[in-house]
Structure 1
Amino acid sequence: MNQLTAWLKSIQFLLGLQSTEETLPAVREISLPIRNGNLRADCYIPKSKSLGTIVTINGLAPLGNRDPRFIILNKTLNKIGYTVVSPFFDEICDYKISLRNIDDIKDSILFISDQKDLCPSGKVSIFAPSFSGSLSLIAVSDKQIANRINSVCTIGAFANVDDIIGNLFADQNLDEYGRMILLLNFLPLSIGENKSLFKAIKLAILDNYFKYKDNLFEPHYSKMKKTDRDFFENLKYDKNFRMKHWEIILKKSGKDRELLSALSVTNHINSLNLPILLIHGLKDDVVPANESSMLHKKLVARGVECKLCITNLISHGDTGFSLKTLLEVPKLITSFSFFFRKAYDGK
């Protein structure tokens, strides 16, 4: 794909993301066999010869690949000529952060790249927002997986998971949705099991996501023990209380420490050798933009073909790009043209 064609595809892509048509089109549904069972996936097949295959990895959201914004993303990638395979990662959609997330992404890539009807070249590209962007970078650091990849595009990825958790716990003004997800996953390392408390945290996350008129949280909260209610309120409003527990978590060793280390992209940086596009919102209130800047600097220092775009046109891990600030649009066009050229399977 020449540069002009790549620019045109980028323009079409950004315009397509302005759509408000969130209806799921007629897609081909397939089952992906993974080591932990099976995942369902939606396949968007282009009407003409495919330019290449892009696997989209959903973020930490219960609707996953059928989140309205993600449907628009998948349809837009498909309309500009790519085959899009979008699995529903059930663990990620259930807000569970673990090493299984990485295994599921790896297994999905291996299976999809083996399907000649979906991926004739045997190689795919990855498009992943937020937390899943970092998971995807870790997954493709595996040499076996890297051999099946053309390129990777992440939006709002983090470099070091310790820094992100500490930052979200310490700053009350940052995104509560992201903070609660991290508390749900990592607070057990400090306090152990407490079913009532963790149910309250999960219901608060779901209410935040779905914006329910009759929320799920209040009925459960009203039945909680006073000690658990007080604990929840402290988690929500007291940064010093959260940081006390974060300090306890950081002192953990063994498997707990290994999990945090394994989830940091910086610990896998020396095994990343693929073309990578890092997109980040300048005012991201979950993962600071300097996380992508840090990754870019380290990758470029190693000679990796990597492009960085920090923009005012998106929020955290967003797949919808507002084009209101026209001065920044050329930078986005150039950035996505890099990804689309690398994702192209044509000769």
Structure 2
Amino acid sequence: MKKKFILGASILALAIPTFVTANSNIRIWMKGNLIKSDVAPYIYQERTMVPLRVISENLGKEVTWDGAKRSVNIKDEKGNEFSLIIGGKFMEDISANVDRKIELDAPALIKDDRTFVPLRAIAEAFGERVDWDKDKRVVVIGEGYDTNKIKEEKKEVLDPLGLDYLYNKDMAGKSDEEKTQYEKAMRAQESKVFKGYKNGDVEGCLAWLSFAKAGEFFEPEQNKNPFLNPKKDGLGIGLTKRGEAMSGYEKTEGEDYYKRDCMGLASGPCVAGLEHFDYYINYDGTFSYFRLPLHYQGTAPEMLKEVKNIVAHPKKIKFIKADKSEIEKLLKTLVDAENDYKLKDLV
């Protein structure tokens, strides 16, 4: 059964690859004006992907969604009509007395409950000229474009330490697996602010300082001076990977496993006096942390119950806007955590 809609009707979400490059600062100029889009364009396979709503609203196209075939038909008042399947490599020209396939430079995809299509392929199929202003990052459709009339967008710096991914609200609703893959990729990137370090190193140091600012360390002196232990003993940044046993004993009956990667920070002169915590990102500028006991009392089931309860009730802390010099001071104290959990090896 076919369902017809004009302009901005949503198309049911089907699938999207795990990694795409978000480019919210990409703008679209169409026939004399910058146009607005409720969902930002992005780059996928080096092609600009735009929500189909942009085509239907601003080029006057009529769109039909066929749920059974998972296909989209686009046509105009001149009788031009094209059909494409979500994820397909071709777009079919099904206009009257025409039967030809047009290879797409990128497939149509579903993202954020919107159908995204490769802008150049769709626009040019309907006879529209498409250009790219790389300096202003503007996709140009049609004639009469004047780059001098396009004002530079003010780029918001979410984090002066280069950790903008901590504020990526789009990730908040993703699955635990997607979050884990995203965090792994972001932490592995070289820091744009601190030469010779990775984002994961910087993030761990920021979490350590934020923890002290919130007054969460056991020792009051550590909260007043978060450089106290690292100065003497170094700062260890470890990683507990998604899928690891919570108790540490894989054969424990009723075992549960971590659903997210958890960063672990530790510094102290000995195990008994260790300052430590584990945390995961919330993507709103906060992280949630928990602390597991250094020693357990009771049976294995009792231990597992205690661990699951602690992990299920984390406490939220806000990342502070740390001074660059403070982060540098901590970065210089970094030491590898346990061999199995070396952050640089895992990310």
**TM-score normalised to the size of structure 2?**
0.24
The structure with the greater share of residues assigned to helix is 1
Q: Normalised by the size of structure 1, how large is the TM-score?
A: 0.24
Q: Which protein, 1 or 2, shows the higher relative CO under an 8 Å CA cutoff with sep ≥ 6?
A: 1
